[in-house]
Structure 1
């Protein structure tokens, strides 16, 4: 997990924050048609009560939107209220994805991979824009915003805003991530861990709640296509360094990973190999 400067204009970030607040401030009736527990729907609004983790409930709401790249008409199913939502969301999503792709190219340079290694199918799946809202919680000690988890995609860029909440696991302790104005927190996803044969680890993280303040975060998830085979790159395997992970399609991995039940302190990083073993 890293914090980086970026090429997304400050004004756009401010517009994005404002539109997100405007959306969540809409009357419930204006958002009711978006609400769905169907995980197959590309665009939906849902709450923490539908986040399946062994019966636990989480204190959050999420507007989850998908788009292809190039965008084309793939945002046609996005909400049309407030009035400027689609325009601002699309600008933010496209520019943030561009930052993510540039980071992947820089990683290739540092790791000795060809510059375009992550272009094409490895990053060609639908891009996910997730707007998470964590309302003030009456008892923060009794409810998390999101459970401990590792992102299952390739790379995530998260704009957090000024309110604390994000924590990462380090040496069995939860460490608060300090909000940095006009910057993104970057999470390496589990697919990046697989490609690098474990050289880069996906960091386990969670979100805590706040008794006084609402917190909103905006995340872009870059992921492979469903039928893309993901496995260790040949540059990271050899006689003295055998493959640590199986080569499987992202769709198969995602379907298996989605049914993993998370515990209060489960570290998915250490269990990634076990998850892969169960994929047929």
Structure 2
């Protein structure tokens, strides 16, 4: 556990060689484009007219950007702040305290590690630590979670319940917009729900390091609380754009399975994470994931003679194998599942 970057990085003034990425994989010194990030006000979806308008905005953002931010979503600002505070407390704990509870072991449901689970075989490491654990059903998961800080289970339990409700509400709006039956994403398509917390410590040379490489998310959808610090970037029209941090907003990222189900009416967002030299950055991701045995294919309601299926049906566990083999590279992964 001593290798957690958050445990030793404060004493480092130059970037270790094992964290220096090749030039073609770095963010470099280029400033990404600022753009009008799509922002969805969920409070407007309370009446029929506003709901229809909100749904169209979501579909447009999902098609053109692969992500959008939601505001006025109903999740308590106090709860969001408390969750972020507790997680910062967690990563500030001494390494030996964390080591007593967690091991770097991919077979464990609650995992704490640095860079990726493939740390020992990586040629270069990401400047991040990650804590991941299941959240659904909550009563079956709580005993797997950290016991420290003392508020962890209480606060993150409440947070997980509220965020799960929110993301499933957003999926219901997408269902309505696509013409799918209500609850299409219930059961198998959302059977696995994970909390994934990333800690990106301040970095001595952000131009050489990466928090996370360019990738797509293999799941159905990701909802991210990114705090108030820049770092998330999305690839659009051949250029990187910054996802501007908005107070109390969530970023919703379309995953590969949602692209397949929508038959390309929605697109998965390629994204990456850059570091900074000024402050630590903590983000809270919540993943909606199919069961590993689930077969995923374009929704039958979206297929007709004029709109043939673009993707073949496949088990999610097979897709994950391909995703790992292609290291999350968007075009390479999706090409493997296209019908010829």
User: TM-score, normalization: structure 1?
Assistant: 0.91
Q: Summarize the Cα distance change of 1:50–1:119 in structure 2 as closer, same or farther, 3 Å threshold.
A: closer
Q: Which runs of 5+ in 2 are unaligned?
A: 1-66
Instruction: Quote how far apart the aligned CAs of 1:35 are.
Output: 4.6
Greater gyration radius: 2
In the TM superposition, residue 251 of structure 1 has moved relative to its aligned partner by: 1.6
- Give the structure 2 partner of residue 195 of structure 1: 261
User: Retained in 1: the 8 A contact 2:106–2:117?
Assistant: no
Q: Is the 2:232–2:271 contact (alpha carbons within 8 Å) kept by the matching residues of 1?
A: yes
Aligned length: 270
CA distance in structure 2 between the partners assigned to 1:8 and 1:99 by the alignment = 8
- Map of 1:249 onto structure 2: 315
Contact conserved, 2:218 with 2:256, CA < 8 A, in 1? Answer: yes
**1:87 maps to which residue?**
154
Of residues 63, 76, 88, the one that matches 1:21 is 88
| 3-state SS of 2:325 partner | coil
Do 1:51 and 1:58's aligned partners in 2 also have CA atoms closer than 8 Å?
no
Residues 49, 201 of structure 1: CA spacing in aligned structure 2 closer, same or farther, 3 A cutoff?
closer
2:76 is matched with which residue?
9
- The 1-side partners of 2:292 and 2:154 are apart by 28
Residue 235 of structure 2 contacts residue 241 of structure 2 at CA under 8 Å; is this kept in 1?
yes
Q: 1:45 and 2:112 equivalent?
A: yes
2:144 is aligned to 77
Select the structure that is richer in helix: 2
Distance 1:215 1:11, change over 3 A: same
Contact 1:54/1:261 (<8 A) preserved = no
What corresponds to 1:181 in structure 2?
247
1:30 aligned residue (97, 101, 104) = 97
The whole-number CA distance in structure 1 between the counterparts of 2:127 and 2:160 is: 25
Query: Is the CA contact 2:224–2:250 (under 8 Å) kept in the aligned structure 1?
Result: yes
Kindly report which structure 2 residues correspond to 1:1-280, keeping only aligned pairs within 5 A, or say none.
1-5=67-71, 6-48=73-115, 50=117, 55-69=123-137, 71-124=138-191, 126-261=192-327, 266=329, 268=330, 270-276=331-337
Shift of 1:54: 6.3
Q: CA contact under 8 A between 2:215 and 2:271: conserved in structure 1? A: yes
